[in-house]
Amino acid sequence: MIICEELVKIYKTDEIEVVALKGLNISITSGEMMAIIGNSGSGKSTLLNILGGLDRPSAGAVQVGEWNLLKISDDDLVQYKRTTVGFIWQNNARNLVPYLTALENVEMPMMLSGQYDRAYAKQLLEWVGLKERMGNKLQQLSGGEQQRVAIAISLSNKPTLLLADEPTGSVDSKTSDMIMDIFRKLNRELGVTIVIVTHDMELASKVDRVVAIRDGMTSTEFIKRNPNLDDLGSEGKGQSRMIQDVHEEYVVLDRAGRLQIPKAYLQALKIDNKASMEFDGEKIIIRPPKILNH
């Protein structure tokens, strides 16, 4: 469904240029539920904004279904956003109107896009567990409930792709679990492709695949060892271990065979800008360069 190749995004402000994506490669299959993790400033939101049609890439290739988001016209971009993609942010307040009811909040964007359907709006709120609360004004709902209204809104255009930027960032762990359950249901029952950007390793361990972004490029990838295992339970393990327990880690190769070696490995081996590489027929062994270091 999604293919990004050598994706570049440069932000130009008055005097400085920030290269937020530096030739990022990623492909996401239709029907997948996956997460993108990475440190602050690594380019996660930039990628999500490009996939959501909120921002345009500077170079490279980005295809979502039939849409080429590098070359797309402004009119088609509007169409793309209307028909293909749904967006959820951590801070949902910007999408919601506090003095309207939950139902009116879901209906409003439907009206604006000419796809008004009250029965469907009700069904969506039922889907996110707010059947009893749809007549309540937004300001009468808790943060977690408001976030669920935001999820209902993001589905109002029946998107095939749902993009969520830190969707559980400002809710407690119980609500976070509930939101992840809703995502899982949408993914399983409606086949919606879901891409979640998160800092939260525990949340990341609940998806099938996690791609780590470092410095505007994809670095490592974690794939679930047992895809049927939905919930790990919390066994008091350290958060960063949980993802290792559930997922197998892979290093990502781009088309040209380039790979990014994690900085921590390079530092541990004192490898700077050169390494010796050996292929023994089964393995590729990377070591510090002998001549330079000894």
Ligand X SMILES: Nc1ncnc2c1ncn2[C@@H]1O[C@H](COP(=O)(O)OP(=O)(O)OP(=O)(O)O)[C@@H](O)[C@H]1O
**Alpha helix positions (H), the chain:** 44-51, 74-83, 102-112, 118-127, 143-154, 173-190, 201-204, 239-246, 263-268, 290-293
Nearest approach in angstroms of CB 8 to ligand X is 12
Binding mask 133-172 for ligand X (x = CB under 6 A): ----------------------------------------
Is 210 among the residues that bind ligand X (CB under 6 A)?
no
Q: Does 98 bind ligand X (CB under 6 A)?
A: no
The percent of the chain in helix, strand and coil, each rounded to the nearest 5, is 35, 30, 40
Instruction: Give the separation between CA 218 and CA 139, rounded to whole angstroms.
Output: 40
Q: Is 41 in the site for ligand X (CB under 6 A)?
A: yes
Measured between alpha carbons, how far apart are the two ends of the chain, in Å? 49
Q: How far apart are CA 205 and CA 245, in angstroms?
A: 9
CB of 142 to ligand X, least distance (A): 24
Using the rule CB under 6 A, is 219 a contact of ligand X? no
Half-sphere exposure of 39 (CA within 13 A, CB side): 6
User: In the numeric block, which tokens belong to residue 139?
Assistant: 């300001």
Nearer to ligand X, 94 or 290 (CB): 94
Beta bridge pairs of residue 2: 28, 64
Residue nearer to ligand X on the CB measure, 46 or 168: 46
Q: Helices 143-154 & 102-112, crossing angle to 10 degrees? A: 30
| Min CB(213)–ligand X separation in Å | 7
Q: Does 88 bind ligand X (CB under 6 A)?
A: no
Q: How far is the CB of 271 from ligand X (least distance, A)?
A: 26
Of 42-50, 131-139, 178-186, 217-225, the segment contacting ligand X by CB under 6 A is: 42-50
Give 264: exposed, middle or buried? Use CB within 10 Å, 0-12, 13-18, 19+. Answer: exposed
Is position 91 an interface residue for ligand X (rule: CB under 6 A)? no
The only residue of 7, 25, 26, 42 in contact with ligand X, by rule CB under 6 A: 42
| Among 44, 133, 209, 224, contact with ligand X (rule: CB under 6 A) | 44
Q: Which stretch binds ligand X (CB under 6 A): 40-48, 76-84, 245-253, 264-272?
A: 40-48
Token pair recorded at residue 246: 């559930």
Distance (Å, whole) CA 263 – CA 285: 17
* Closer by beta carbon to ligand X, 107 or else 166: 166
Binding to ligand X (CB under 6 A): which residues in 10-39?
11, 13, 18, 20, 38
Contacts with ligand X, residue ranges (CB under 6 A): 11, 13, 18, 20, 38, 40-46
